Amino acid sequence: MVQRLRAGGIRHEAVLAAFERVPRHAFVDAALVTQAYEDTSLPIGHGQTISKPSVVARMIELLYGGANAQASGRLVNVLEIGTGCGYQAALLGTLARSVTSIERLKPLHDKARELLAPLRPPNLRLVFGDGMLGHAPNAPYDAIIAAAGGASVPQAWLDQLAEGGRLVTPVRDGGGDGQVLTVIDRHAEGYRRSVHEAVKFVPLKSGLAR
């Protein structure tokens, strides 16, 4: 899988090393283990998916382009919107000083907690909450990454992004159902947005579900 990521254009060695270190098969259902290292999204229940490795790697690599990450040489304080099964949270936990991961679906929050327990990432905090609200207690964040996309970027995410921070999220493309990978950098003078390739994520929703 790592060789495929490298061949697909992922160049950041720390990101590639994280994919070497974190076993993706540990985060998928037993019936799907044989597909764990294919470059495909897989169902994790409750209408959610574990994203394609190439997309996860691309988004994390984009986080490293933020001013604060470039200045420190690593990811520092990261907020993940949508814990899902915990795979991306585990990757981020190997790369960042501190990670807060929020999930609105209680069964998935509990599942991620269980799957992540053997890895014991001391710098990772799992939160059951409404991701559209971010997580103000640990803000500001140098990096925010979202695993769901809506028509716009929630204001709470922008407010909780540190100056010099970078937000990477899918956003619905115009009035259609398609999504594009969107990067927002916060500078002293405001926010700067850039749009990248088309992606496909589950829709961003508000509220909690038990």
183: its two tokens: 């990067």
Whole-angstrom CA distances from 202 to 84, 136, 176, 186 are 11, 24, 14, 25
Residue 65's contacts (CB-CB under 8 Å, 6 or more residues apart) are 166, 183
Domain boundaries, the chain: 2-203
What rounded mean pLDDT belongs to the chain?
A: 96
The pTM of this model reads 0.96
Q: What is the predicted pLDDT for the residue at 175?
A: 65
Catalytic residue among 41, 51, 101, 206: 51
DSSP string, 162-209: EEEEEEEEEEE-TTSS-EEEEEEEEETTEEEEEEEEEE--EEP--S-B
For the chain, percent of residues with pLDDT exceeding 70 = 100
Alpha helices in the chain (DSSP H): 2-7, 13-21, 53-63, 67-72, 87-95, 106-116, 155-160
Q: Is 51 a catalytic residue?
A: yes
pLDDT digits (tens, 9 = 90+) for 121-167: 899 999 999 999 999 999 999 999 999 999 999 999 999 999 999 99
Q: What is the predicted pLDDT for the residue at 198?
A: 94
Confidence of residue 120 (pLDDT cuts 50, 70, 90): confident
26: its two tokens: 């540990």
DSSP 82: -
On the question of pLDDT at 100 being above 80, the answer is yes
Specify the range with the lowest mean pLDDT, choosing from 5-19, 93-107, 172-186, 190-204.
Answer: 172-186
pLDDT digits (tens, 9 = 90+) for 31-80: 999 999 999 999 999 999 999 999 999 999 999 999 999 999 999 999 99
- The CATH number of 2-203, from 3.40.50.150, 3.30.450.40, 2.60.40.10, 3.20.20.70, is 3.40.50.150
Closest CA to 4 of 63, 56, 69, 81: 56
Confidence of residue 192 (pLDDT cuts 50, 70, 90): very high
Q: Is the peptide bond before 154 cis (omega within 30 degrees of 0)?
A: no
Q: Are 40 and 47 in contact (CB under 8 A)?
A: no
205: its two tokens: 């929703």
Closest CA to 139 of 163, 172, 168: 163
Greatest extent of the chain over all pairs of C-alpha atoms, in Å: 50
Q: What is the predicted pLDDT for the residue at 91?
A: 98
On the question of pLDDT at 8 being above 80, the answer is yes
